[in-house]
């Protein structure tokens, strides 16, 4: 009975694996010029398939332990696990890279390293930073901007699609406005903690400089870019 149940579970996982591999998901995640996105569906289905595979293997290992006879279906389960590790992607935000081959163990390790970096970077930036009467309160899950007598909160609860990314600064963090080209030289030094906060069309980029100040760029990719240097 356990062998039959495990067979059905692994077959279901196999079907989902066929539908969520990088070639299918990568080429079909955004049809219609980004009008529809199936990223979350592919992502969830892949994790369900992974869970089904583990469940099927658990049943087969239990049967093996009870009967002492090796179930051949274990080979299918191990093959599916190998497939998921080799072609899986841990985060929906990386779905664009599926087709390019940025998948599998390398992507898992990148995500793990990025998560560790984010925790270290956040510790460098959290708190209240000021520039004259203006203040910027950086928290792990939200940014509060008090400027010109107005308070703006950037967070997922306040703004659909908002994102706050703690990472080491890159060229994308600084943007490519002519006013910031000179600042790109800073990237040649030690890694600089940064926060890239996005809410609708509003972007705030923060980069911690070697002297302890915080470089703030509002809308670094727009013509009306604003630059300020903040202190605690």
Give yes or no: residues 135 and 49 share one domain. no
Domain boundary among 49, 74, 102: 102
Give residue-wise pLDDT tens across range 91-104. Answer: 555 555 554 555 66
Does residue 57 contact residue 2 with C-beta atoms inside 8 Å? no
127-131 β-sheet, strand order:
127-131, 134-138, 142-147, 150-155
H/E element, 163: strand 163-168
Lowest mean pLDDT among 142-156, 157-171, 183-197: 157-171
Q: Is residue 184 assigned to a domain?
A: yes
Domain total in the chain: 2
Q: Is residue 207 assigned to a domain?
A: yes
Task: Give SS3 for 196.
Answer: strand
CA dist list (Å): 110 to 121, 141, 179: 16, 22, 32
Q: Is residue 147 assigned to a domain?
A: yes
Q: How many DSSP H helices and E strands does the chain contain?
A: 7, 9
Does residue 46 contact residue 125 with C-beta atoms inside 8 Å? no
How many other C-beta atoms are found inside a 10 Å radius of the C-beta of residue 75? 11
Q: Return d(Cα 200, Cα 154) in angstroms, integer.
A: 9
What is the residue range of 14's domain?
A: 2-102
Residue with more model confidence, 116 or 91:
116
Residue indicated by tokens 């890239």: 196
Residue 30 is predicted with a pLDDT of 44
Residue 83 is predicted with a pLDDT of 82
Does residue 189 contact residue 210 with C-beta atoms inside 8 Å? yes
* pTM score of the predicted model: 0.57
pLDDT band at 196 (very low <50, low <70, confident <90, very high): very high
Residue indicated by tokens 């509003």: 202
Domain boundary among 71, 102, 133: 102
Average pLDDT, the chain: 82
Residue 181 is predicted with a pLDDT of 86
56 — phi, psi (to 5°)? -60, -40
Compute and round to an integer the Cα radius of gyration of the chain. Answer: 23
Lowest mean pLDDT among 39-43, 68-72, 183-187: 39-43
């Amino acid at each position: 009975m356990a062998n039959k149940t495990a067979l059905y579970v692994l077959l279901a996982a196999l079907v989902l694996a066929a539908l969520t591999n990088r070639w299918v998901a990568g080429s079909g995640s955004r049809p219609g010029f980004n009008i529809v996105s199936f990223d979350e569906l592919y992502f969830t289905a892949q994790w369900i398939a992974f869970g089904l595979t583990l469940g099927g293997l658990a049943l087969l290992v239990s049967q093996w332990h009870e009967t002492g006879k090796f179930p051949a279906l274990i080979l299918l389960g191990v093959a599916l696990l190998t497939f998921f590790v080799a072609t899986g992607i841990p985060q929906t935000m990386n779905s664009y890279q599926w087709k390019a081959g940025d998948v599998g163990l390398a992507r898992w390790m990148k995500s793990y390293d990025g998560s560790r970096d984010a925790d270290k970077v956040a510790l460098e930036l959290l708190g209240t930073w000021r520039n004259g009467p203006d203040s910027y309160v950086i928290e792990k899950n939200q940014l509060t901007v008090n400027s010109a007598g107005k308070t703006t909160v950037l967070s997922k609860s306040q703004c659909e699609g908002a994102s706050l990314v703690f990472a080491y600064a890159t060229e994308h963090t600084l943007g490519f406005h002519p006013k910031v080209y000179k600042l790109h030289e800073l990237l040649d030094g030690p890694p600089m903690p940064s926060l890239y906060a996005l809410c609708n069309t509003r972007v705030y980029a923060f980069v911690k400089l070697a002297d302890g100040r915080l470089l703030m760029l509002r809308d670094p990719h727009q013509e009306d870019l604003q630059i300020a240097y903040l202190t605690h």
